[in-house]
């Protein structure tokens, strides 16, 4: 069963903030975030491991709530280059380690 | 510069044909994956290999098989292509240590 991402799509003006959520019904070991620009391959952003950690990378950060099996990706002061589709991938004890189940994606458009 | 390459960017085949999609990685990764990507469905795992000659079914293995005879190469085989296998196929690889997945550029397969 795929994790649920919300929202499905979001439109921002440059400089605005956005939050993308990823929710699973399974007990998770890790959550991975990827961004795919139009016509390109998905690119890794970050991994969050069981333990409820938060990670940051430039103006993009993420959190993992182990109790709720939820992760959120925070995009701060968005730039045009942030446009693309964001996928979360979850790794759980049920599906086996090293295998990811991806959500259906969140399309983000940043306009000038 | 790390790389995952796929044999074709675009492929057109006829129903019933046997189709081979090839993927090569130069990072000495243990894990290799085949996904298909369809609009609104995200990335769905077809097969996964964690070592040479080892394979595991993903979420949608029906109609597909795989082969991994060498560590750097992972092949996806459509034994008898059908129109519902028209899709974008993405290959990825990762190290067993951190499971950050590196994706190839994808093969857009059309089955007529």
CB A5 within 8 A of CB A103: yes
Q: Would the CB atoms of B98 and A103 count as touching at under 8 Å? A: no
Minimal-distance CA residue of chain B relative to A33? B100
Is B107 in CB contact (< 8 Å) with chain A?
no
A49 near B CB under 8 A: no
CB within 8 A of A87, min separation 6: which ones?
A5, A33, A34, A35, A36, A42, A102, A103, A105, A106, B42, B43
Percent of chain B scored above 90 by pLDDT? 91
pLDDT in tens, A17-40: 999 999 999 888 899 999 999 989
For residue range A61-86, what is the model confidence (pLDDT) as tens digits? 999 988 889 999 999 999 999 999 99
pLDDT tens per residue, range B3-40? 999 999 999 999 999 999 999 999 999 999 999 999 99
Residues of chain B in contact with residue A43, where contact means CB-CB under 8 angstroms, are 103
Average pLDDT, chain A: 91
Q: Which of A16, A28, A3 is nearest to A86 (CA)?
A: A3
Chain B residues close to A105, C-beta within 8 Å? 42
Write down the pLDDT at residue A58: 74
What pLDDT is recorded for position A54?
67
Distance CA B101, CA A3 (A): 18
Long-range contact set of residues B28-31: C-beta below 8 Å, sequence gap at least 24: B28/B71, B28/B72, B29/B71, B29/B93, B29/B94, B29/B95, B29/B102, B30/B71, B30/B94, B30/B95, B30/B96, B31/A98, B31/B93, B31/B94, B31/B95, B31/B96, B31/B99, B31/B101
Residues of A in contact with B100 (CB under 8 A): 32, 44, 47
């Amino acid at each position: 069963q795929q994790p649920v991402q919300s929202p499905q799509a979001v439109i921002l003006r440059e400089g605005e903030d956005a939050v993308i959520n990823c929710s699973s019904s399974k007990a998770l070991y890790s959550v991975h975030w990827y961004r795919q620009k139009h016509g390109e391959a998905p690119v890794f952003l970050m991994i969050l491991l069981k333990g409820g950690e938060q990670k940051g990378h430039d103006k993009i950060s993420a959190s993992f709530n182990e109790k709720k099996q939820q992760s959120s990706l925070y995009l701060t002061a968005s730039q045009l280059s942030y446009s693309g589709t964001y996928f979360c991938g979850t790794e759980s004890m049920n599906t086996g380690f090293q295998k990811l189940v991806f959500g259906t994606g969140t399309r983000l458009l940043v306009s000038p | 510069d790390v790389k995952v390459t796929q044999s074709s960017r675009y492929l057109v085949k006829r129903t019933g044909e046997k189709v081979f999609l090839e993927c090569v990685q130069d990072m000495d990764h243990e894990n290799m994956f085949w996904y298909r990507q369809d609009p609104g469905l995200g990335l769905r795992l077809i097969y996964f290999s964690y070592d040479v000659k080892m394979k595991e079914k993903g979420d949608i293995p029906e109609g597909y098989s795989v082969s991994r005879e060498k560590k750097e190469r992972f092949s996806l085989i459509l034994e008898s292509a059908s129109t519902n296998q028209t899709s974008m196929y993405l290959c990825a690889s990762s190290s067993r240590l951190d499971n950050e997945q590196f994706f190839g550029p994808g093969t857009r397969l059309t089955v007529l």
